[in-house]
Chain A
Amino acid sequence: MIADFFTSTWLLWVLLSVAGFLFWRSRSSKYFLYVFNRYLLALMTLLIVSGIVFSLMEVLPGDCAEKYIAYKSSQGEMITQADIAAERSRMGLDRSLIVRWSSWITDLTLRGDLGFSCAKRQSVNIALGDRFWMSFGFCIAGLLFAYLIAVPFGILSAYMINKPWLDKNPKYNKKQRWINSIGLSFNKVLDLKLRMISYLGLALPNFLLALSIILLYVFAGEPVPTGLFSDQWSAEPWFAVSGFQYGKLTDFLSHIWLPIFVIGWAATALQLQTVRALVVDESNKLYVDAARARGVDGMSLWVGYPVRHSISPLFNSIGFDFQRIFNDLPIVAIVIGMTDSAALLIEALAMTNDQEMAAAILFLVALVVISMNFITDIVLAAVDPRVRNSVLG
């Protein structure tokens, strides 16, 4: 009986025990006081998010009772207005917004229950299932793609324009300075090219990029790689009698690059700009000059000082990058024909007006972003001495 109570309310106990642990540590450590405060702040933000999302969903036309009745009437039953009212009071839809919101919150924190999807006629947890993890995987892959391209090339771009000492350095004679300045101009052209690419990334929205790629396939007369599997593999299970099906895996991989590339594209462009600006900003600071005066030179100067210091703001923005990528995911999902939670979100919002489903997806995304922000904040405070000093006083 008691074990049942604990297993059904496990989420609450996890949240409380984390809070308790942090509170216990915070009495002896300044760092844990900061973490404890951040934790409480994150929980409060989550509460506000759920309130916003819930009240936003209220403005969607129609409610669950009407949909259920419509479903029943399509089965051939005669329905009156009184039936709708009775159904509504059975589902608790006649209670006030605050009451329903608090019951949604308690369901969520006590049992991890996200509600009941009216359009799918099953619990949101089951209807969502691994689709949310699929979207999560897409976003993480897009994020990785963006960072793996943007960080090195952004640093390269900043490195190329940021060698003003080369043609002012007194150790070179006049002829060598001329040669250096030609090299500098060449570098500036390369930098300009990189910036052009990133501008194009900002100007060409994801759905247009996806459309152009599809258009190229149409012109080439190839089958368009939409969806996640081609027709012959979509019905096959991952594990057949003969063991794991590698054909399905290669088919999956040959389809998956398109969404990841398209999703990562805009993020890459934005990150390229950000990294470049950060590194350029840092490389003009006095401590770089001081290090140069101490005799640190070349790559060790570059990597050790400006680049190292511009990584932490970048790391800090991972949560919002994730949010920006998920923001674009629904439209891309429509263009490419994916079936992940972003497509489900669009379906719930625009077609079936499935409030609980849409609220659950939005809440989950906010949850991921908030926890990413929380984790990056506490990791940065532990690792980066500048952040540590500023937040811990």
Chain B
Amino acid sequence: MISSVLARFGPKVKKSQDESYYTAGQLALIKARFMRKTSGVVAGWVLASIIMVSFFAPFFAPIDPTIRGADTNYQRGAPQAFYFWDEQGISLRPFTYTYSKDKPKIDFMALAGSGGLAALDALTSSGALSSSAQNKYNIDEQQRRYVQFFVKGWEYSLIDFSIAGLNLDLRWDRHLFGVEQGEIHLMGTDQDGKDVFSRTLHAVWITVSIAVVALIVKLFTSLLVGGISGYFGGRVDAVLMSFTEAVRVIPSIPVYLACAVALSSMDLTAVQRYFAIAVVIGALDFATLGRRLRTHILTERNQDYVLAAQLCGSSSWRIIWRHLIPSFSSYIIVDTLINFPYVILAETSLSFLGLGLTEPVNSLGVLLQKAQDPDIQQNMIWQFFPVLVFVVLIMAFVFVGDALRDAADPYSEKK
């Protein structure tokens, strides 16, 4: 945007018409056009860094996000900020303060002594038993706790390459940052004492990987349906397309819901369930891409190169897979990338209803589900941090997808 304004007023630069522009491949052209769009590039960097951080989430997260890492001394705790200075002076190393839990004062003697329901009534109505009163923390501003980098913590697997008996699990126990003693909760904790910041980092990767699995499944279904339907045409096409039309007409989220309910009656582990949901979301989402591919192949199958391949004795399968689909590959790639946010939204909505992934798993949908709780809305507003990350992630995906669509369109330069 800014660069285009500057280019309007700046000195006129003559475009060098060198050879490389004309000999460049399709992907190089797309890349060059993409690089010209500032919003897309910025969103791309944001996206890449979010995904990098979430892929190495155990390294970037200071605390184990499972119940093992739950801090029982700091449940429902507010976020702890970094400080660089306070009344005692400036410190180059950032620090936070020590906290200690307030013991709720319940006068058992009064209850036992004067006895009766009146005292009990007064106790319950005073709010001392409510969960927010039970978890009051005193922050001791005299005792600093300095933040340290590359601290030792819980052991985690950095990358797991182990396939079929081979044990290539890279394990490490260093974390980017931590405090000397105790723990640091950048975004506070939930009611179990699990760190919201660490959970969110882990959740992003799980959500993105579900979307990847779903999109791969979707790609294969739509290539299969679109390819067969377009290549053979006629009656096969009519049957497959009316089936596609029927799938397109039924609202998808209720269908996902029915499949999720059916899955929940089976006895699946968390990982199997996770893949099953991804496969269901992917397999039912083939309609749009399948139709586009079919239209493309219908026009393309009368070309000379298809006839040549047929005369050479290629099988139909080989012609579809090696000749027809690659001629549409740039559109397929772009369409897949554009669909990323929608698949993530589908998973999130399912988990939000409590039927996708469920509580011990860290996925964005599970974390967003908590935003519905009035208690969290009023007393633990820091649990809305995952919502923020979610919106940023989806925005980044949408911007990158939009820039890519413009870049992949060969006529976009005329606009």
Contacts and interface: CB of A to CB of B under 8 A. Distances in A.
B253 A328 contact: yes
A362 B377 contact: no
Contact of A57 (B258, B265, B349, B368): B258
B5 A345 contact: no
Interface string A265-298: 0000000000000001000100000000000000
B249 A61 contact: no
B408 to A, nearest CB: 14
Interface string A200-226: 101111011001001100100000000
Interface residues of B, number: 47
Contact of A215 (B252, B355, B377): B377
A321 to B, nearest CB: 12
A177 to B, nearest CB: 11
B243 interface: yes
Nearest to B345: A205
- Give the residue among B247, B254, B377, B402 with the most A Cβ atoms within 10 A: B254
A330 B254 contact: yes
Given A44-B242, A185-B8, A335-B372, A205 B258 contact: no
Nearest to A214: B377
A257 to B, nearest CB: 21
Interface string B300-318: 0000000000000000000
A190 interface: no
A317 to B, nearest CB: 12
Interface stretch (A8-16, A114-122, A235-243, A363-371): A363-371
A117 B43 CA distance: 49
A192 interface: yes
A342 to B, nearest CB: 9
Nearest to A205: B345
Contacts of B348: 205
A70 to B, nearest CB: 16
Contact of A327 (B252, B258, B368): B252
Contacts of A205: 345, 348-349
B414 interface: yes
B25 interface: no
Contacts of A57: 258
Interface stretch (A46-54, A246-254, A375-383): A46-54
A60 interface: yes
Nearest to A322: B251
A353 B265 CA distance: 11
Nearest to A41: B242
Interface in B233-266: 242-243, 245-255, 257-259, 261-262, 265
Interface in B330-366: 341, 345, 348-349, 352-355
Contacts of B53: none
A48 B246 contact: yes
B335 to A, nearest CB: 15
A340 B372 CA distance: 20
B353 A327 contact: no
Contact of A45 (B249, B349, B354): B249
A256 interface: no
B387 interface: yes
B250 A49 contact: yes
A52 B247 contact: yes
B406 to A, nearest CB: 10
A365 B253 CA distance: 13
Interface stretch (B63-71, B91-99, B100-108, B392-400): B392-400
Contacts of A84: none
Contacts of B5: 185
A204 B377 contact: no
Given A202-B341, A211-B372, A365-B251, A60 B258 contact: yes
Q: Chain A's interface: helix, strand, loop or mixed, by majority? A: helix
B265 A61 contact: yes
A331 B369 CA distance: 11
A118 to B, nearest CB: 15
B6 to A, nearest CB: 11
B374 interface: yes
A82 interface: no
B190 to A, nearest CB: 17
Contacts of B352: 207, 331
Nearest to A162: B415
Nearest to A319: B249
B212 interface: no
Given A218-B374, A331-B353, A203 B254 contact: no
Contact of A208 (B251, B257, B355, B387): B387
Nearest to A334: B353
Given A45-B246, A205-B349, A330-B253, A199 B395 contact: yes
A284 B399 contact: no
A350 interface: yes
Contact of B8 (A52, A181, A335, A349): A181
Interface in A296-342: 319-320, 323, 326-328, 330-331, 334-335
A350 B387 contact: no
A145 to B, nearest CB: 19
For B243, B258, B415, which residue has the most chain A Cβ atoms within 10 angstroms? B258
Given A59-B259, A202-B394, A331-B253, A49 B246 contact: yes
A226 to B, nearest CB: 11
A366 B341 contact: no
A358 B258 contact: yes
Given A205-B348, A218-B378, A346 B353 contact: yes
Of the candidates A192, A202, A284, the one having the most CB atoms from chain B within 10 angstroms of its own CB is A202
Given A218-B378, A346-B353, A199 B250 contact: no
A102 B389 CA distance: 49
A327 to B, nearest CB: 4
Interface in B93-133: none
A381 B294 CA distance: 23
List of 10 A-B pairs having minimum Cβ-Cβ separation, nearest first: A61-B265, A48-B246, A59-B262, A203-B394, A327-B251, A203-B395, A49-B246, A366-B249, A349-B257, A369-B249
25 contacts: A48-B246, A49-B246, A52-B247, A52-B250, A60-B261, A60-B262, A61-B261, A181-B8, A188-B1, A189-B1, A202-B341, A204-B391, A205-B348, A208-B390, A214-B377, A280-B415, A320-B248, A327-B254, A331-B349, A335-B372, A349-B258, A350-B353, A350-B354, A361-B254, A362-B250
Interface of A: 41, 44-45, 48-49, 52-53, 56-57, 59-61, 181, 185, 188-189, 192, 199-200, 202-205, 207-208, 211, 214-215, 218, 280, 284, 319-320, 323, 326-328, 330-331, 334-335, 345-346, 349-350, 353, 358, 361-362, 365-366, 369-370, 373
Given A61-B265, A199-B399, A320-B248, 18 more contacts: A41-B242, A53-B250, A60-B258, A60-B262, A61-B262, A202-B398, A203-B394, A205-B349, A208-B368, A208-B391, A211-B372, A218-B378, A284-B415, A349-B254, A349-B261, A358-B254, A366-B246, A366-B250
